[in-house]
Amino acid sequence: MYSKLSILLVTLWLAGCSTLPKQIQLPDDSNLISYEDAASKSKEVLGQKARWGGIIAKIENKPDNTLIEMVYYPLRSYGRPLQGDESIGRFRVYVQGFLDPMVYKKGRTMTFTGDFTRLEKGMVGEHEYVFPTLASTGYFLWKEIQQVDVNMINVWPYDYWRYGWYNRPFNNRVILRSTHHTRSSPAKTKPAASKSN
């Protein structure tokens, strides 16, 4: 009974994890082009659909649309970019309307769907660069995930080799350190003065 229930829960959880957000879903029969094909065979794949994602490198509001420059990363099954130490390139996306640079800011993770329109020349610093470019038909801004470092964890709740196994509460400490180093100092309190009668 319990094993069947646990298998059902795991299946539902996996199905939920692999579902794309509604904003970046496309029909199942969509023939999506890869970033590599757009960069190398631009004339052959012009106008085709793409779903790309990455990290925002730059955002620029124009009179009628917003230009977002992205550092490309491959997508997981549920659409979130899989970040790593290396990227194969950058791309640009034009989104209709205004996107607030304080929300869609440098370093945030996004996924786009859109039509591949052209290769566009530009600059990254003082380096000339050719950007594969999308006209966005949908986008999704991913929530920031706070990563933690685990310093110590003991998986055994008791010293089996010395005392033998028996159930006992698990009281070992786990120290987590955030990647955001914001610390607040604890409030200082004075000890209450004792009253003598």
> How confident is the model over 112-123, as pLDDT tens digits?
999 999 999 999
Sorting pLDDT into bands at 50, 70 and 90, what band is 35? very high
Helix, strand and coil percent figures for the chain, each rounded to 5: 15, 35, 50
Tokens 């594969």 identify what position? 132
Contact 42, 118 (CB under 8 A): yes
Q: Which fold has domain 21-141?
A: OB fold (Dihydrolipoamide Acetyltransferase, E2P) (2.40.50)
What's the residue count for the chain?
A: 197
Tokens matching residue 139: 């986008």
Sorting pLDDT into bands at 50, 70 and 90, what band is 149? low
Tell me which of 27-31, 139-143, 146-150 is least confident.
146-150
Q: Is the pLDDT of residue 197 over 80?
A: no
The per-residue pLDDT for range 51-67, each reduced to its tens digit, is 999 999 999 999 999 99
Distance in angstroms (rounded) separating the CA atoms of residues 109 and 142: 6
Q: Is the pLDDT of residue 189 over 50?
A: no
The per-residue pLDDT for range 15-25, each reduced to its tens digit, is 445 599 999 99
pTM for this entry? 0.67
Domain ranges of the chain: 21-141
